[in-house]
Structure 1
Amino acid sequence: MTIRLYGIKNCDTVKKARKWLEQQGIDYRFIDHRADGLDPLQLEHWLDQLGWEQLVNKRGTTYRALPEADKTALGPDTAAALLLAHPAMIKRPLLELDGQLHLGFNAELYSRLFNI
């Protein structure tokens, strides 16, 4: 079973997800896409699987700080470039479990995913 958790290490929701995984004894790899960088091909895969509307975090401070022109231009053709430039705008955490992607943290969902 391949388990990867993507996010930013100082994000409270990412911290909750990591704590939950560790408390359950689940071995996973954490990738901080701000510190470790973001692979453009992987981002394209995420966009294909989830869609830009789901992947872009419009509630965060990074999005709110964008120039209005960038917000207006945001769409399927511009999302990848904007997310590569501002990886903190990706909703988090993003859990990759055996090729399936799951956004956000919810203990009940994680329990179902890991049969706990």
Structure 2
Amino acid sequence: MRFYGLKTCDTCRKALKSLGNGVTVIDVRADGVAQDDLARFYATFGDKLVNRASATWRGLSDSERDQAPLALLAAHPTLMKRPVIEADGRLYLGWGKDVQAALLG
């Protein structure tokens, strides 16, 4: 299982605690996200992948916000809604009850 998130994100911390051991954690700020991974995530989730409620989004200028989503996520990986979890060949976005049910049973 691969987990893309932030060490400082409360939701990510809760998810990691619930998922337990055996999770490979990729910190999107410290480690970055490969362009291929971003493209896969965007193909799966579309515009839901861009967190327009984040502090990073609020700090962007209008011209930056008008960039293509993949370019924006590559330049500002913390704009990605978190966590993105890859388990058994499937991708999950966020830590809602649907994701918890799918991953925890």
Residues of 1 paired with 2:86 and 2:13: CA distance? 16
Q: TM-score, normalised by structure 1?
A: 0.82
Residues of 1 paired with 2:51 and 2:102: CA distance? 25
Contact 2:56–2:79, Cα closer than 8 Å, also in 1 = yes
Which residue number corresponds to residue 111 of structure 1?
Answer: 101
Q: CA RMSD in A?
A: 1.5
Residues of 2 paired with 1:54 and 1:114: CA distance? 23
**Structure 1: segments with no counterpart, 5+ residues:** none
Residues of 2 paired with 1:59 and 1:109: CA distance? 20
Deviation at 1:108, TM superposition (A): 5.9
Residues of 2 paired with 1:57 and 1:16: CA distance? 19
Asked if 1:28 corresponds to 2:23, the answer is yes
Asked if 1:64 corresponds to 2:58, the answer is yes
Residues of 2 paired with 1:48 and 1:112: CA distance? 20
Cα distance change of structure 1 residues 99 and 87 upon mapping to structure 2, 3 Å threshold = same
Residues of 1 paired with 2:89 and 2:100: CA distance? 15
Contact 1:20–1:107, Cα closer than 8 Å, also in 2 = no
Which residue number corresponds to residue 36 of structure 2?
Answer: 41
Higher RCO (CA 8 Å, separation ≥ 6 residues): 1
Residues of 1 paired with 2:103 and 2:77: CA distance? 26
Residues of 2 paired with 1:49 and 1:111: CA distance? 19
Structure of higher CA gyration radius: 1
Deviation at 1:69, TM superposition (A): 1.8
- The superposition leaves residues 82-110 of structure 1 with CA deviations (integer Å, 9 ceiling, x where unpaired) of 10110000000111111211111135632
Asked if 1:99 corresponds to 2:97, the answer is no
Which residue number corresponds to residue 6 of structure 1?
Answer: 4
SS of 2:4's partner is strand
Residues of 2 paired with 1:110 and 1:13: CA distance? 12
